[in-house]
Amino acid sequence: QCRFIFTDNLLGISWVDSSWIPILNNGSVLDYFSERSNPFYDRTCNNEVVKMQRMTLDHLNQMVGVEYILLHAQEPILFIIRKQQRQSPTQVMPLADYYIIAGVIYQAPDLGSVINSRVLTAVHGIQSAFEEAMSYCRYHPSKGYWWHFKDQEEREKTKPKAKKKEEPSSIFQRQRVDALLLDLRQKFPPRFVQQKPGEKPIPVDQIKKEPEPAPEAVKPEEKETVKNAQSAGAKGPPEKRMRLQ
C-alpha cells in the first residue's frame, strides 16, 4: 500500500509504499523512489530515460538534464537522494534533497524555507505573548492601568485574609449613630443585662435596686443658721446712713 498527503507546498508531502520497506537497500532505493505514485519523482528526468532504454546508471554522467542520485545511505533506516541539474560530466547544480526514514519519503527544506518557518514561529510566539499580556491588563478612569493575573487570585484565596484597617468615623457619623441607638433603646428596652464582662446576662426584673440613702438629720441650730443666711442674702446688705456733722 502506498499513501501520500498532497498540498501545494512540497514540504508538506510524505509518501510511503509499505511493500518496499523490507527490501530497501542501496541498490533498490532508486527504484523505490522512481515509483509512479511517488509525487517527488519527475518522470521527465534522465533516470527515466535510462530505465526505459535499459541502461546502467553510469550513463547519467554522459547526459544533460535532471537526474536523481543516491547521496548518502545508512541501511536500513536512512537514505538521502539528491535531485540535480547536470550541465556537463563534471558540472552539476543541486535542486533538491529528499530523505527516506523507515520507508517514508520527505523533501528536505531549503535554507529560505527554514528561515521563514523560524521567523513565523517566533512572530507567532511574540504575538501570542502580547495577546496573553493584554488579557491581564485592566483599566479604570479613576485608577488607571494595572495588571490582574489569574494566579494572583489563587494566591489571594489561599493566603489568610489580613484585617483591613478601619477608617476613623466622623463626628456627624458618631452623633447620628448615637441618636439611632438611643431611639432603638427607647423603643425596645433591654430585657437582659450583663453586669460584668464574661458573666451570664440576667433579666432586668431580677436586678436588685440599691436603697436610696436616707436624708441626714439636720440639727436645729444648723437649720436656724442656714435660715438666717438665706434671709440675709435675700434682703441684701444694710444701707449706710449719712453722718451729720
DSSP 17-45: ETTTGGG-STTTHHHHHT-TT-TT--TTS
pLDDT of residue 220: 56
pLDDT of residue 66: 94
Mention every residue, 6+ apart, whose C-beta is less than 8 A from residue 12.
5
- CA-based end-to-end distance of the chain: 163
pLDDT of residue 123: 95
- The pTM for the full model equals 0.49
pLDDT at 5 over 50: no
State whether residue 149 is helix, strand or coil: coil
CA angle 96–42–100, rounded 5-degree value: 55
pLDDT of residue 7: 44
| Number of H-type helices and E-type strands within the chain | 6, 10
Report residue 245's pLDDT band, with 50, 70 and 90 as the boundaries. Answer: very low
pLDDT of residue 244: 46
C-alpha cell at 146: 494595572
C-alpha cell at 88: 556537463
Mention every residue, 6+ apart, whose C-beta is less than 8 A from residue 160.
none
Domains of the chain from N-terminus onward:
13-108 (3.10.450.580), 113-148 (no CATH)
The region of weakest confidence among 48-52, 107-111, 138-142, 197-201 is 197-201
Instruction: State the DSSP code for 54.
Output: T
Torsion angle defined by CA atoms of residues 147, 152, 156 and 158, in that order, rounded to the nearest 10 degrees: 180
Cα–Cα dist 65/85, whole Å:
5
* For the chain, percent of residues with pLDDT exceeding 70: 74
pLDDT tens-place string over residues 171-223: 888 888 888 888 888 888 877 777 777 777 777 777 666 555 555 555 555 55
pLDDT at 82 over 90: yes
Cα–Cα dist 43/56, whole Å:
17
